[in-house]
Amino acid sequence: MKRMAFLAAIAILSWGTPALGGPQGGPPSPYCDDGVPEVIDNCIERCNTNQDDTDRDDCGNLCDADYDNTGRVGFPDFGAFVGAFGSTNEEFCHTEPIPGCTVGFPDFGFMVANFGLVPGPSSTTIGTTACP
Ligand SMILES: [Ca+2]
Ligand SMILES: [Ca+2]
Ligand SMILES: [Ca+2]
Ligand SMILES: [Ca+2]
């Protein structure tokens, strides 16, 4: 009898739980809902509410380890990063908040994780090589 009561309680609880959804019932972002509509998000797959883009190539800092804008993160970018390590050059910062940042190990981890890859994706530059 106790078991029946337990099962009934479970049923009532799960019935009464509203389905989870995005704001105003819209579909939640498959990536990160940072409050920036995905159609204008300069770094779709990461939470970058501030949309910081130091080199102004429409590819947000949190997506952009392609410092020479060749469309690929390679050795020239790696060399530039090493040269900037420990500096306050915001272009090499990939962790918010960007303004006033110091280039450090989290940024290094981002660079390594993106080595050999294309920057982005960004909604504002689709079809271009800068940040496909
Ligand atoms: Ca984003
Ligand atoms: Ca950029
Ligand atoms: Ca590059
Ligand atoms: Ca870039």
Give residue-wise pLDDT tens across range 86-103: 999 999 999 999 999 999
Whether 26 maps to a domain, the answer reads no
Q: How close is the Cα of 81 to the center of ligand 1, in Å?
A: 23
pLDDT at residue 26 is higher than 50: no
Q: How close is the Cα of 51 to the center of ligand 1, in Å?
A: 7
* Residue 42 domain boundaries: 35-125
Nearest CA to 130 out of 71, 86, 82 is that of: 71
In percent, the amount of the chain with pLDDT more than 70 equals 73
Dihedral sign computed on CA atoms, order 85, 87, 89, 95: positive
Tell me the pLDDT of the chain averaged across its residues: 82
Q: How close is the Cα of 132 to the center of ligand 4, in Å?
A: 11
Mean pLDDT of 46-66: 94
Mean pLDDT of 114-121: 94
Whether 120 maps to a domain, the answer reads yes
Lowest mean pLDDT among 21-30, 80-89, 113-122: 21-30
Name the residues around ion ligand 4, CB cutoff 5 A. Answer: 55, 57, 64, 66, 69
Whether 49 maps to a domain, the answer reads yes
Whether 107 maps to a domain, the answer reads yes
Tally of structural domains, the chain? 1
Name the residues around ion ligand 3, CB cutoff 5 A. Answer: 66, 68, 70, 77
Whether 91 maps to a domain, the answer reads yes
Dihedral sign computed on CA atoms, order 44, 46, 49, 50: negative
Q: How close is the Cα of 93 to the center of ligand 3, in Å?
A: 16
Nearest ligand, measured from the Cα of 31: 1
